[in-house]
Chains A and B, each alone.
Chain A
Amino acid sequence: MSTPATSFTDHYNFAYLDEQTKRMIRRAILKGIAIPGYQVPFAAREMPMPYGWGTGGVQVTAAVIGHSDTLKMIDQGSDDTTNAVALRNFFVQTTGVNTTTHTKGASLIQTRHRIPEEPLSEDQVLVYQVPIPEPLRFLEPRETETRKMHALEEYGLMHVKLYEDIARFGHIATTYAYPVLVNERYVMDPSPIPKFDNPKMHRMEALQLFGAGREKRIYAIPPHTDVVSLDFEDHPFTPQEFDQPCAICGAEHVYLDEVILDDQGSRMFVCSDSDYCEERRTEGHTGHLGTNPLDAPSNGTAKDNASSKEACK
C-alpha cells in the first residue's frame, strides 16, 4: 500500500488519466468529429467522482487539456455551483492549469446544462456533461434497437412523439434536452440544456464535445456545423422567451433563473450565466432592482427590501 498522497501529481498522471486512456478517448473524439452527432462508444473509466456527476465531461476534458489551457467550469450557467467548484478543483489539483470565470478568457469550457451567453470563438472548446446521450432512449429503451434506428436514419418515432405533443397540448412540450438534427444526418441529444440554448449550437465557431461517462459514449459537433432543432413547418421551433429582463443587470434575451426571495411569493429573475451578469454590471448596466438584494450584508430576509416585491409581478 502506498503512503497517503500529499499531492496528486506525485501519485497520478497529468489530468488523472494515464496516457493510453487519453489516447483512446482522443480517438473516440476524433471519430466523433468526423461523424458529427454520431455517438461513439468508448471505454469510459471509473473516475474519482460519481457517475452522473460529470465523469464523461471530465474524461473528455482530461483527454484534451494541456498545460497552456485556461479552464472555465460551469454548472447551471454559473462558476460557483457546488459541483462546478468540485470539478474545477479536481483539474486544478491534477493539472495545475489556469482557471477563469470569464467566458472570453477560457480556451476550454466544461459545462453542465447551459451554453454561455457570450458567443464562443473558434479557438475555444466547449465540453458538455451528458447524462443520457441517446435521444431515442425514452422512446425505445434498447440500445440494440436505437443503434439500428440511427443507422437507418429511422427517426419516425421521434417525429410521432413531437406530433403527439402538438395534438395533445397544441405545442411541443419538451423544454430541455430538445432533440436536434446534426449535419442533416444524426438526431442528437444536446444534453439537458434548455431549448433556449439550442440555437447557439447552430454553426457555432467553437468545437463542441459531449461526454457521457456512465453510458460510455462520446459525440461531437465540429465548428460551423448545422444543428437544427426538430420541428414541423406549421409548428416551427420556438425558443423560450422571458417577458422581463434580468433584475440586476437588465440583460434581455438571456436565460434567467427564478429566485424565490421570501415565503410570500416574491421572486426575481436573474441571469443564469453568472459571469455574463457580472460583466454587464461591471460595464455599468443595472436592472430594475438595482443591486442584488441577496448581496446585502445584513441580508436576513429579502422581504425587508421594499423593491423586491415589485420585482416579480
Chain B
Amino acid sequence: MYVAVKGGEKAIRNAHTLLARDRRGDTSLPALTLAQMTQQLYLSISRVMAEGSLYDADLAALAIKQARGDLIEAIFLLRAYRTTLPRFGYSQPIDTATMLIRRRISATYKDLPGGQLLGPTFDYTQRLLDFTLAANGEEAPATPQTQAFEAQERVPRVTELLDDEGLMEPDAELPEDHEVGDLTREPLEFPAGRDLRLQNLARGDEGFLLALGYSTQRGYGRTHPFAGEIRLGEVEVSLFVEELGFDVPLGEMTVTECQMINQFAGSAKAPPQFTRGYGLVPGQGERKVMAMSLVDRSLRWQELGEEATSPAQDEEFVMSHSDNVQGTGFVEHLKLPHYVDFQAELDLIRRLRAEWFEKNQKTTGETADLEAAQ
C-alpha cells in the first residue's frame, strides 16, 4: 500500500495522458474521421452496435476510435452511454418479410419465391491479400452489374413456405398478455423465456456464440441444422403512439436475420418436423446470426422434449457467460489490488506448509526407524 499507491491519483492522470497519446499515434498522419470508419469499417461498426445494443453508427465509430480499435472496449463505451439514455417506449415488432433486401440466400432451396440474392459477401472470394489496397490511391471499385431486380412488396420467409405442409414448426406464439422481457431493465431470472434468451444472445459476444454454435456441430448437442435462410437489408421501425392511436415510422435500420432449420425426429412432446433456431442482429453480422440461431435452437431442448447433454443447451451457462462486457470486466478485475486477501492466503499457506512438513518429517522419521529396526 505504502509502496505502490501513494500518488495513485497522479499515476492515473499520467497513464491517461499516455493512453491519449498512443491512441492518436503519429500526428504527422491525418486522424481517422468517423465518416471514414462508418464507411470503410462497417462490419466493426455493426458488431459494436449489435453487442453494444445501440443502433447508432456514428457513436459506434466514435467508440471504436476512442477504444483504439478494441471492439469489446468500444462495446463497453457504447453500453455505458446507452444506459443513461431515457427510454421513450418500445417499437412495434419489425417485419422482416417487408425488408428491402440486399442479400438473401437459402441453403435448403435452389430457388424460392423472392429469389436468391448473393449481395455483398465475402463468400466465394479467394482469401488472398489484395496488395492494391495497400498502395495509396486505390481506384474506385467498379460498378456491379445489376439485373433489373423486381422489388417486391413482401418476400416471404422460407419458414412460411414449408409451413403450409405442416412440416415446419410454426412461428412461436406468445400468450396475449405476455410482455416481452427486457434484461437491461429487469434482473435476469432462471429459467428465462425464449424472448429473454434471444435478447441475451443478440447482445452476446460473437466469439462465444460462434464457439458454442460450433460445438453443437461437432456433436455436443447435435441439432442437424440447415441454413434455411439468411437475409440482410433495411426494415422500417415504427412506434405506436398512444395519443395518436397509430404507428409512427421512426426510420429504417439495417438488420441481418437467420432462420436455421433443424431436422427433428420427434419426441414425446412434439411430432417429427423441422424445428427452428432464430438469429437477428442490427447491422450486418452474418456469422453472429448463424451462431445465434444454432445456440437458440440448442437452448430449446426442454420445450421439444430432448435430452440436455452439452454446454450449448445449458441456459444458465450460456446466458450467464455470453456478455463480453461482463466477462471482460470480471476477468480484468484481477488486475486490481488484492493485497488483503492475498495476505490472508499467505498466512494460511504458511500454516499449511508448516503442518505438512511437520507431518512428513514425522512419517519419514518413522519409516527410517522401521528400516533401521529391520
Contacts and interface: CB of A to CB of B under 8 A. Distances in A.
Interface stretch (B41-49, B180-188, B305-313): B180-188
Interface string A154-173: 00000000000000011001
B336 A75 contact: yes
Contact of B187 (A1, A53, A80, A216): A216
Given A51-B328, A52-B330, A259-B1, 10 more contacts: A1-B58, A46-B184, A46-B325, A50-B76, A113-B341, A144-B316, A173-B348, A255-B343, A272-B1, A294-B2
A76 B2 contact: no
B3 A214 contact: no
A292 B7 CA distance: 16
Contacts of B86: 18
Contacts of B62: 1
B190 A50 contact: no
Nearest to A274: B1
Given A18-B86, A80-B8, A51 B330 contact: yes
Given A75-B337, A83-B337, A192-B341, A143 B190 contact: yes
A43 B320 CA distance: 14
21 contacts: A13-B84, A43-B184, A50-B325, A50-B328, A50-B329, A52-B331, A75-B336, A75-B337, A76-B339, A80-B6, A81-B1, A81-B5, A82-B12, A83-B337, A113-B340, A143-B320, A170-B355, A173-B352, A176-B341, A194-B344, A240-B347
B302 interface: no
A57 interface: no
B330 A131 contact: yes
B188 A53 contact: no
A231 B191 CA distance: 34
A294 B341 CA distance: 23
Nearest to B15: A82
Contacts of B217: none
A270 to B, nearest CB: 6
A51 B325 CA distance: 7
Interface in A176-196: 176-177, 192-196
Interface range, A side: 35 or more
A52 B333 contact: yes
A44 B187 contact: yes
Contacts of A169: 352, 355
B298 to A, nearest CB: 18
Nearest to B190: A144
A16 interface: yes
B65 to A, nearest CB: 13
Interface in A79-93: 80-86, 89
Interface string B1-20: 11101111101100000000
B24 to A, nearest CB: 15
B59 interface: yes
Given A53-B336, A272-B1, A175 B12 contact: no
A16 B86 CA distance: 13
Interface in A282-312: 292, 294-295
Nearest to A45: B83
A79 B316 CA distance: 37
Interface string B313-342: 000100010000110111111001111110
B287 interface: no
B79 interface: yes
A41 B348 contact: no
A12 interface: yes
B317 to A, nearest CB: 8
B369 interface: no
Contact of B340 (A85, A259, A272, A274): A272
Contacts of A270: 1-2
Contacts of B163: none
B9 A85 contact: yes
A51 B80 contact: no
A279 interface: no
A93 to B, nearest CB: 13
Nearest to B185: A43
Nearest to B347: A240
Nearest to A216: B187
Nearest to B82: A46
B139 interface: no
Q: Which of B58, B191, B332 has the most CB of A within 10 A?
A: B332
Interface in A99-117: 112-114
A222 interface: no
Contacts of B83: 45-47
A257 interface: yes
A1 B58 CA distance: 8
Contacts of A53: 329, 333, 336
Contact of B344 (A43, A176, A214): A176
For the complex of A and B, 5 pairs with smallest distance between CB atoms: A51-B329, A52-B333, A50-B329, A175-B344, A41-B187
Contacts of A143: 189-190, 316, 320
Nearest to B314: A142
Given A78-B1, A82-B5, A240 B333 contact: no
B128 to A, nearest CB: 38
B35 interface: no
